[in-house]
Structure 1
Amino acid sequence: MIKEIHDNYYNLTTMNAQELISFKQKALQWAAQFEVCCYFDSNGYTDPYSRYDFLLAAGARQELNTATGNAFKTLQTFSQENPGWLFGLLSYDLKNEIENLTSAKENKLDFPDLFFFVPQYLVAVKNGNIEVLAGLKICLTQLADCSCLRPLLPPHCILSLKWIGRLTCLK
């Protein structure tokens, strides 16, 4: 799969279907070491708008974590200060900034209303070819060496029992 890697140079061979599955598993395991990561996978679906088969953003060079109020204005400023790739989430409660609505539901998962980050590493795959779009290309060596396929754990900031309790609450 990966023939050789030097500081900012890497030589790749195209991955077959089985190698791609293995690479995805290793990539997710590698990303689990970071507090923040985001993974998008087309699962083989193609359309005219897709550029990549999957993207993995790991680590955060910059983060934006804000509550409803001026969230969209804050996001606009953040995106202007950090041009390029941004990944994140928007909560349902942000509707209150756009419409004259309110919500009385408790946020039992403690997710922020708006969270975006600039990835430290961004790895993309298209047609079996790996490309590092952000970060050091040496991360490919770490990915290739990742043999610790173990179940993914809940987010670092939430203890397992607390996480299970919150999920039970949602049922």
Structure 2
Amino acid sequence: MKTSPIHNKPLFLEKALNWANGFSHCAYYQSNGISYPYHGFDEILAVGVKRIFVPNEKDRFEALAAFHQNKWLFGYLGYDLKNDREALSSKNTDHILFPEISFFEPQHILFFKGNEVETLSEEDVLAQIESTEINPITSYLGTAKASVSQAKYLAIIEKLRQHIEEGDCYEINFCQEFHGEIVALNPIQLYLDLNKLSPSPFSSFQKHEAHYILSASPERFMKKEGNKIISQPIKGTRARGNSASEDEALKKDLRSDEKELAENMMIVDLVRNDLARSSKVGSIKVEEIFGIYSFKQVHQMISTIVSEKREEINAFEVIKNAFPMGSMTGAPKVKVMQLIEQYENTKRGVFSGAAGYISPNSDFDFNVLIRSLFLNSATKTYSFQAGGAITYDSVPEKEYEECMVKAKAILALIDQGKVERF
């Protein structure tokens, strides 16, 4: 491992990402220096492939465990891995055709430590990066088409409220997709622009051949440090205000909203139940409940649940036992996933899955793939999704408004490209 100083971090990073994009696979993670319980992502760039995970169709979590071999792995888990855990299926329209899971062991890894970088490679990658030219192309994405009309969205919320009233579920996460055409693509600049619009503690850029993930996620799915497991579900959202006083009022409103508190509490209970499958008896603790955290676009209500892993459970079983994350399903999990398939008219695919990394000693950190843009450069299509948790107290118009608040940064990114092009 070689440590070198970085004299111009923004320029070096842009060159490094352009260099990485020349390979079939790469993955970059960062926290944007945002303060967060148990920290955000480590800043890591993984590039090239020594090995690519080729999953079997029976149990892809088990297959990933066998593939690990105490090496660094980088990649993502798609939402439809739920079908490996339960008797579920996913037959809705898929606009971007991502593999349901993708991981790779990289040829080169760069660990950023402030204005220094540690390189793990058999080549002089710094020289390669310095000689890389930055792609001058401006991305242009066609207009985003919503998968459902506003009127249809409101009608579905009412139907979901009826399911809750009839006792089918307590809370359900309902989302809609926005999709469109890629006219011109510079994925690096698009990611850097998204990160400026919406810096987050679980920011990620990934390339898996023709498939790109550009993530501005504020949410951690799960982290493992030694035998400690950390999960931090988000439930509860407010847009940012136009002034400090308005921001404070919105934060107080979020912290006192009975519906938002009930949503958060239900998901905390669900997470505790998920962690119980992997944890020592009596080790599960809610370290913080209803914490209010502010990001550039939104205020969020976040709770932190921790536990201690049982000795006989491996890291991949910990992930499988809690996947998919309760904040993106609702409760009870299996029933709401059936209802999600029934009422959403597009596949979630990678959305509401998880992106992250696994270390040689089986520690890991994964975000929740929300506030993320998914691009297929082969079919020239893009997609992103947004939604929220529905309870009996939900007001359909307010749920739609919250959905659009969550979509705001990516919609702004798409419009920004149009302004720059014309």
TM-score band w.r.t. shorter chain: 0.7 to 0.9
How many pairs were matched up?
Answer: 155
User: Matches of residues 93-108 of structure 1 in structure 2 within 5 Å?
Assistant: 93-108=80-95
Listed one character per residue, the Cα deviations across residues 64-122 of structure 1 (whole Å, up to 9, x for unaligned) are 13365321121111013xx2210011111100111232221243322111111001111
Q: Does the 8 Å contact 2:49/2:106 carry over to 1?
A: yes
Residues 45 and 136 of structure 1: CA distance in aligned 2, closer, same or farther (over 3 Å): farther
> Alignment partner for residue 20 of structure 2, among 6, 9, 31?
31
1:121 and 1:132 in contact (8 A); partners too: yes
What is the aligned partner in structure 2 of residue 162 from structure 1?
379
Of the three residues 131, 136, 159, the one matched with 2:122 is 136
| Counterpart mapping for 1:56-95 below 5 A | 56-66=45-55, 68-80=57-69, 83-95=70-82
Taking the TM superposition and a 5 Å limit, the aligned residue runs for 1:10-29 are: 12-13=4-5, 15=6, 19-29=8-18
1:42 deviates by 1.5
Q: What does the per-residue CA deviation read over 1:121-149, in whole Å, with 9 as the maximum and x for residues that have no partner?
A: 1111112111013x225001111222334
Aligned to 2:32: 43
- Greater CA deviation, 62-71 or 122-131? 62-71
- Give the unaligned 5+ runs of structure 1: 1-7
Contact 2:56 2:63 in 1 (8 A): no
Distance 1:161 1:86 in 2: 25
User: Which residue in 2 is equivalent to 1:111?
Assistant: 98
Bigger relative CO (Cα 8 Å, ≥ 6 apart): 1
SS of 2:128 mapped into structure 1: helix
1:26–1:143 CA contact under 8 A, matched in 2: yes
Give the aligned residue type for 1:143.
I
The amino acid that maps onto 1:94 is: L
Rounded to whole Å, the distance in 1 between the matches of 2:378 and 2:117 is: 37
The structural deviation recorded for 1:160 is 5.1
Question: Is 24-33 or 96-105 further displaced after alignment?
Answer: 96-105
User: Does structure 2 retain, via aligned residues, the 8 Å contact 1:59–1:120?
Assistant: yes
3-state SS of the aligned residue for 1:34?
Answer: coil
Deviation at 1:50, TM superposition (A): 4.5
Label 1:150 to 1:11 Cα distance change in 2 as closer, same or farther (>3 A): same
The percent identity for this pair of structures is 31
Helix, strand or coil: the match of 2:379? helix
CA distance in 2, matches of 1:51, 1:109: 28
Query: Residues 69 and 97 of structure 1 are in contact (CA less than 8 Å); yes or no, is this contact kept in structure 2?
Result: yes
Higher alpha-carbon Rg: 2
Task: Show structure 2 runs of 5+ residues with no match.
Answer: 138-185, 189-206, 212-375, 386-422
TM-score (norm 2): 0.33
Q: Secondary structure at the match of 1:167?
A: strand
SS in 1 for 2:107: strand
Match of 1:145 among 107, 131, 138: 131
Q: Does 2:110 correspond to 1:123?
A: yes
Match of 2:53, SS state, is strand
User: Would the alpha carbon gap of residues 116 and 167 (structure 1) be closer, same or farther in structure 2, given more than 3 Å must change?
Assistant: same
Rounded Cα–Cα distance in structure 1 between residues aligned with 2:104 and 2:378: 27
Q: 1:67 to 1:92 in 2, by over 3 A?
A: farther
CA distance in 2 between partners of 1:121 and 1:101 (Å): 38
Aligned partners of 1:31 and 1:62: how far apart in 2? 16
Contact kept in structure 2, 1:41 and 1:54, CA below 8 Å: yes
